[in-house]
Amino acid sequence: MPPTRKRKLDQTTSISNATSPPKRHQVEDLTREEAELPATPQTLTSDKGMDSDDDFNSVASSMDLGEEMSSSVDFGAADSDGDVDEYEDDNTGFETSAKDLVGKRKAFETDFRVYSPQDIQNQQDAQVAEVANLLEQPPEATAILLRYGRWNKERVIEQYMDNQEELLEKAGLGQDIRRNPPRIESVSGFVCDICCEDDHDMESFAMICGHRFCTDCYRQYLTQKIKDEGEAARIKCPGDRCNKIIDAKSLDLLVPADLTNRYHALLMRTYVDDRESLKWCPAPNCVYAVECSVKRRDLLKIVPTVHCDCKHAFCFGCTLADHQPCPCALVKKWLKKCEDDSETANWISANTKECPKCHSTIEKNGGCNHMTCRKCKNEFCWMCMGLWSEHGTSWYNCSRFEEKSGHDARDAQARSRQSLERYLHYYNRYANHEQSAKLDKDIFHKTEKKMTLLQATSGMSWIEVQFLEGASQALQQCRETLKWTYAFAYYLGRNNQTEIFEDNQRDLEMAVENLSEMFEKPTDQLAGLKVEMLDKTAYCQKRKVVVLDDTARKLKEGEWDLIFCTP
C-alpha cells in the first residue's frame, strides 16, 4: 500500500534518469525491516519484500503493484525500458495527487492511489514484460499465465519453476508456444468442422492444439464470445473439450480492430477485478481505478475511504459511498435493518396483542381492559388475555394480574419497546441528517444563484463569494459523517469511551446546525457574515476531523465495544 507506486516511481525515475545503478541490496534490507514493521507512509519501502518468504501472499498482493517498476529495471530488456519511460510520461500528474506523502496523516485517512485506464494498461504490460523476460515465454503467453494465476506473480513464477509442463497445461497453454508463432494458413484438403466448407484456398487457423477451423468461423466464434458473452481472459479453442486459451496475438490476427479494443478493455476489467488491491471507482461513467492496500480482514478495524479523481469519495472495502466512521460490516447490518421490516414487527410486538381466539392483531388505544374483538366478538381481558366471563364480579380489575405468564409477556413487551425506542432514537437522527444532507444539496444548487446575487448586491468579486460554496460543501460532508455516527452509535456498547464519542458527536452536530442556520439568512446579510461563516466552516471541518480521528483510532486499537449481534 503506501509502499506505493509513487515511491516506486521515484525509484525508477532516479534509476532511469541518473546513471547510478539500482542499489538492490540496500533496498532489500529496507524491505526486511518493513516486513516486520507496519508500513507507514514515511517508511522507505521497496518491493523486494518477497525475499522474506513468510507472509508470502499478503506481502505479494500489497507489493507487487509497485514491484514491476523497479523490477523491470532490474531484469529489463530493451522493450521494458521503453515501458518505463512511457510510464513516467503518463504520470507526471501523480506528484500532486499523492496524498500519502502530504503532511501528517490522521487515523481515519487511508493511503490510496488513483489510476487512469492507461496507467492500468501500463501496469499490466509492465508486469507481463517482466515475467515474460524471466520465464522466457512470449508476452501473450505470459499474460495468460498471469491471468490464470490471478496476477500473483510470485506464485506463477514459483509454479512455473516447479513444474513448467503442468502449469502450462493447466493455464491452457501448450508446451511449444514459442516455436509456433500463430499464423493463418491455407491447408490443402482441409474441411472446416464448423461450417463444413472445403474450398482448397480457404484460410484457416489453429492454435497449438491443432484444432483447425476456417478464419470466418473462428472470427464469428471470437466475436460472439467477446461481444455477446463479454468473455476475454478465458476464451477457449472452439474444439470440443479443448482447454487451450486464445492469446492476444492470435486474436489480433483474427478479429477486426474494434473488437480487439473491446477485448483489451475486458481484459483490463478482469485485471482490476482479480486484484484485491485495485477497485474501479463506482461513480457512474468514471473510468478510474483506485489502489488501496487495506485487506478484507482489516475492515473491522479501519474504514478505508478513498477519493477518486472524479471527486467521488467511496469506501474501498464495500464500494459504497463514504461511510466513516461506521465500519463496513455495521453499515451493511444497519442498511439492512432500515430496509427490512424488522422494526415494524418490533412495533407490532411492542404495541399490540393478538385476540386469543381469532389471533387478529389488536392495538389498544384507550378504554378499559374489557375487550371485544371486532372480528370474532370474543370478549377477553386485555391484561391477562383470559376470557372476560371468568372474571366474575371483579369487572375492570384483573385479578390474575400477577401471574407469571403475564409477567413474562410484559417483560418481553417491555424489551421490545425498549429496543424499538433505542432503534428509533438512532434512526431518527440518522434519517434526519440524511434528509438534511439532501436539503443541503438543494441549498448547494441555490448557492450559485446566491453567489451571483451576492456579487451584484455587495460588489464582492467572484473569488470573494467562494466562501459560500466552501461552507455548503463542508455542511454536506459533515452531515454525511454525522449520519453515520448515529448508525455507529446504535451498535456501540457503553464503555468509558462512549461519552467522549457522544461529546464529539454533539459538538459536531452543534457546529453543523449553526452553520446550516447561517445559510438560511437572506442574501443581503450574507456579505456581512463572511468572516463568521468562514470561521464556522473551519470549525465544522475541525469537529469532523476530531470525530473521525477519535473513532478511527479507537477502532484500530479495538477500544469500542461493538455489538455485532444486535438484530
Binding residues (CB under 8 A) for other proteins: these are 193-197, 211, 213, 217, 220-221, 224, 238-242
Task: Give residue 126's Cα distance to chain centre.
Answer: 25
**Residues shown for the chain:** 567
- Specify the residue, 241 or 494, whose C-beta has the smaller distance to other proteins: 241
Distance, CA of 420 to CA of 166 (rounded, Å): 60
CB 8 within 8 Å of CB 66: yes
CA-closest candidate to residue 334, choices 343, 313, 495: 343
Dihedral sign for Cα 240, 245, 251, 253, please. Answer: negative
Question: Which grid cell sits at 493?
Answer: 456498547
549 CB-near residues (< 8 Å, 6+ apart): 106, 107, 108
Encode 304-333 in three state secondary structure: CEEECCCCCEEECCCCCECCCCCCHHHHHH
Distance, CA of 8 to CA of 209 (rounded, Å): 41
Question: Which grid cell sits at 336?
Answer: 439492512
Q: CB of 145: closest distance to other proteins in angstroms?
A: 23
CA-closest candidate to residue 530, choices 481, 441, 459, 479: 459
Distance, CA of 178 to CA of 273 (rounded, Å): 29
Question: Which grid cell sits at 298?
Answer: 482489516
- Specify the residue, 48 or 236, whose C-beta has the smaller distance to other proteins: 236
- Specify the residue, 255 or 489, whose C-beta has the smaller distance to other proteins: 255
Distance, CA of 500 to CA of 549 (rounded, Å): 12
Beta strand pairing call for 313-315 and 352-354: unpaired
CA-closest candidate to residue 497, choices 317, 325, 330: 325
Q: Compute the C-alpha angle 526/530/533, nearest 5°.
A: 95
- Specify the residue, 161 or 195, whose C-beta has the smaller distance to other proteins: 195
- Specify the residue, 211 or 530, whose C-beta has the smaller distance to other proteins: 211
- Specify the residue, 262 or 417, whose C-beta has the smaller distance to other proteins: 262
Q: CB of 280: closest distance to other proteins in angstroms?
A: 26
CB 426 within 8 Å of CB 505: no
Q: CB of 236: closest distance to other proteins in angstroms?
A: 8
Which of 308, 368, 373, 384 is the catalytic position?
A: 368
Q: CB of 238: closest distance to other proteins in angstroms?
A: 5
Cis-peptide into 325, omega within 30 deg: yes
Q: CB of 216: closest distance to other proteins in angstroms?
A: 11
Q: CB of 222: closest distance to other proteins in angstroms?
A: 10
Distance, CA of 298 to CA of 556 (rounded, Å): 9
| H helical segments located in 211-256 | 215-223, 248-254
- Specify the residue, 55 or 229, whose C-beta has the smaller distance to other proteins: 229
**CB atoms < 10 A from the CB of 176, how many?**
9
Q: CB of 220: closest distance to other proteins in angstroms?
A: 6
- Specify the residue, 157 or 226, whose C-beta has the smaller distance to other proteins: 226
CA-closest candidate to residue 304, choices 287, 289, 286, 291: 291
- Specify the residue, 143 or 226, whose C-beta has the smaller distance to other proteins: 226
**CB atoms < 10 A from the CB of 183, how many?**
9
Encode 220-257 in three state secondary structure: HHHHHHHHHCCCCCCCECCCCCCCCECCHHHHHHHCCH
Q: CB of 245: closest distance to other proteins in angstroms?
A: 14
Q: CB of 233: closest distance to other proteins in angstroms?
A: 16
Distance, CA of 9 to CA of 84 (rounded, Å): 9
Distance, CA of 87 to CA of 164 (rounded, Å): 31
Written as one letter, the residue type at 186 is: S
CB 192 within 8 Å of CB 202: yes
- Specify the residue, 44 or 194, whose C-beta has the smaller distance to other proteins: 194
Q: CB of 194: closest distance to other proteins in angstroms?
A: 5
Q: Is 281 a catalytic residue?
A: no
Q: So which residues are the catalytic ones?
A: 368
